[in-house]
Amino acid sequence: MAIAELTDAERDEALGELTDWTLRDDGKAIHRSFKFKDFNEAFGFMTRVAITADKQDHHPEWSNVYNRVEITLTTHDCDGLSERDVKLARFIDGIV
């Protein structure tokens, strides 16, 4: 399904709300780092994100090393940021 890339104004507004996320240099993705008590907590978090991401049919680019999780959100369908990234970032912010 076609999805529109955020306009510059929409992107700036989203970043004003998602203050823990940083814009990638090319402007096409946002990134946030997470640190948990241990692997169990990190993986529990990833499991919750994965279930919601799959329901939204919008999947993060991420990595995990023990208690750390790195997440990048971008929309492949528009090769940039879309409302789907904002929605998933809001969900993630709500569970940490």
**Interface contacts to ligand H2B, rule CB under 6 A:** 57-59, 74-77
Toward ligand H2B, which CB reaches closer, 11 or 58? 58
Q: How many alpha carbons fall within 13 Å on the CB side of residue 83?
A: 3
Per-residue DSSP letter, 5: P
- Give the C-alpha separation, 11 to 9, whole Å: 5
Toward ligand H2B, which CB reaches closer, 77 or 83? 77
In a 3-state reduction of DSSP, which class is residue 24?
coil
Report the first-to-last Cα separation within the chain, whole angstroms.
Answer: 30
Toward ligand H2B, which CB reaches closer, 75 or 92? 75
Q: In the bound complex, what is the minimum distance in angstroms from residue 58's beta carbon to ligand H2B?
A: 5
Q: In the bound complex, what is the minimum distance in angstroms from residue 37's beta carbon to ligand H2B?
A: 28
Token pair of 75 as six digits: 């929309």
